[in-house]
Amino acid sequence: SIIPGPWGKKVFLFLHTAAKALGEFLIFVISKLMGEKLSGLVIPLGYMTLLSLIIVVFQFEERARRRIWQIIMLRWGFLVFRVVMEALKINPT
C-alpha cells in the first residue's frame, strides 16, 4: 500500500471526507443558483476547494506561490467549464 501506516490512512480519509463535504456544499449552492442537479463534480470540486483553502492559509515562497496559483486558476477554469457543460446538458463524448 502507498499510504503509510494507520495514521496515514486516517489523514487521507479525513482529507477525502473534508473534500467530499466541501464539494457537496458547493454543488448544493450551484444547484440552487442554476436550478440543475449537478452530481459528477462533487469530489473534483471538493479537492480543488480544499487545496485552494490550504494554499490561502499557508503562504509559500513567492515563485512557488505564483506557479501554484496559476495551476489552481487553470483547474478552476476547467471545473467551471465542466459545470456549464453539465448544466447545459452538453456531452462532449
Instruction: Pull the grid cell for residue 22.
Output: 466541501
Is the per-residue pLDDT at 20 higher than 90?
yes
The runs of H, that is alpha helices, within 1-93 are 5-34, 42-57, 62-87
Cβ pair 46, 20 in contact under 8 A: yes
Map residue 92 onto helix, strand or coil: coil
- What predicted TM-score, i.e. pTM, was given to this entire model? 0.62
Is the per-residue pLDDT at 93 higher than 60?
no
pLDDT digits (tens, 9 = 90+) for 22-65: 999 988 988 888 887 777 788 888 988 888 887 777 666 777 77
Map residue 46 onto helix, strand or coil: helix
pLDDT digits (tens, 9 = 90+) for 69-88: 888 888 888 888 888 888 88
- What local confidence, expressed as pLDDT, does residue 31 receive? 85
Indicate the average pLDDT of the chain. Answer: 81
